[in-house]
Amino acid sequence: MPNPTAAMLVIGDEILSGRTRDANMHYLAGELAKTGIDLKEVRIVSDTAEAITDAVGTLADTYTHVFTSGGIGPTHDDITADCIAAAFSLAIDVRDDARAILEEHYQRTGTALNEARLRMARIPEGATLIDNPVSAAPGFTLGNVHVMAGVPQIFQAMVASVLPTLTGGAPLLSQSLRIERGEGDIAGPLAKLAQEFPDLTIGSYPYSHSGTFGAHIVIRGHDGARLDAAMQKLSRLFPE
């Protein structure tokens, strides 16, 4: 059976403007690889309702899972929850269980649960809450879409809450070899190796250091024996 698939939707003008560097995609990709869920696509969209709603609808129809990050805070531009509800044609409102979580958290920290903070308790109809042990405000899962915060520490905690509930497949394995030759010299043998091992992915990532040109060859796949065989042949093609 093929592995489940996933897409990530990164939401936020601050990412597109270059003001903030996204760290969540790198983290999610690593965690999904260990779980056996193949990350196939990552999109970044602005804080506009049409962009978010269209992307969610398309990705949810294409992949087994969709993970979103960003846009579920207390400010006016945090519109992700509303867009997810719109994508599924569902109502959204403050939900009692989410409100109770916020009330307990803010009472314990001595902070007022004002109207802005209460926005974070607005959950689409039928969604399941995602635990947030860092700052309490929950994410949620609706269908195959998992909606999480953009702050990396919170995002990582929410991923840790969600992944144990999902069915994965074979973990993605990888091995690499550094070759001190230009890509033009190794391209032909690499292409033949890729043809011999069509079940594996073979990537070449060039580097330049102190006038020396070379490439890191990374081989990925789900079958450890096949991976070992390909690496052995690669090592024979390009001995140190």
CA 156 to chain CA centroid, nearest Å: 10
Other Cβ atoms within 10 Å of 105 Cβ, number? 16
Given a cut of 80, is residue 240 above it in pLDDT? no
CATH superfamily of 5-165: MoaB/Mog-like domain (3.40.980.10)
Helices then strands, each counted (H, E), the chain: 9, 11
Cα 231 to Cα 47: distance, rounded to the nearest angstrom: 44
Cα 50 to Cα 144: distance, rounded to the nearest angstrom: 20
Reported as a single tens digit per residue, the pLDDT across 55-112 is: 999 999 999 999 999 999 999 999 999 999 999 999 999 999 999 999 999 999 999 9
Strands (E), 79-144: 92-94, 122-124, 128-130, 139-142
Reported as a single tens digit per residue, the pLDDT across 169-214 is: 999 999 999 999 999 999 999 999 999 999 999 999 999 988 889 9
Evaluate whether 94 touches 137 at the Cβ level (below 8 Å): no
Mean pLDDT, all residues of the chain: 96
What's the token pair of residue 238?
């390009």
pLDDT of residue 142: 98
Evaluate whether 28 touches 67 at the Cβ level (below 8 Å): yes
**Which phi and psi angles does 14 have, rounded to 5°?**
-65, -25
Distance between start and end Cα atoms, the chain: 38
Q: What is the DSSP string of 23-91?
A: -HHHHHHHHHHHHT-EEEEEEEE-S-HHHHHHHHHHHHHHSSEEEEES--SSSTT--HHHHHHHHTT--
pLDDT of residue 210: 82
pLDDT of residue 212: 85
Reported as a single tens digit per residue, the pLDDT across 207-236 is: 998 888 999 999 999 999 999 999 999 999
- Specify the CATH number of the domain 173-237: 3.30.70.600
pLDDT of residue 209: 84
Which sequence spans correspond to the domains of the chain? 5-165, 173-237
Mapped onto helix, strand or coil, the DSSP state of residue 6 is: strand
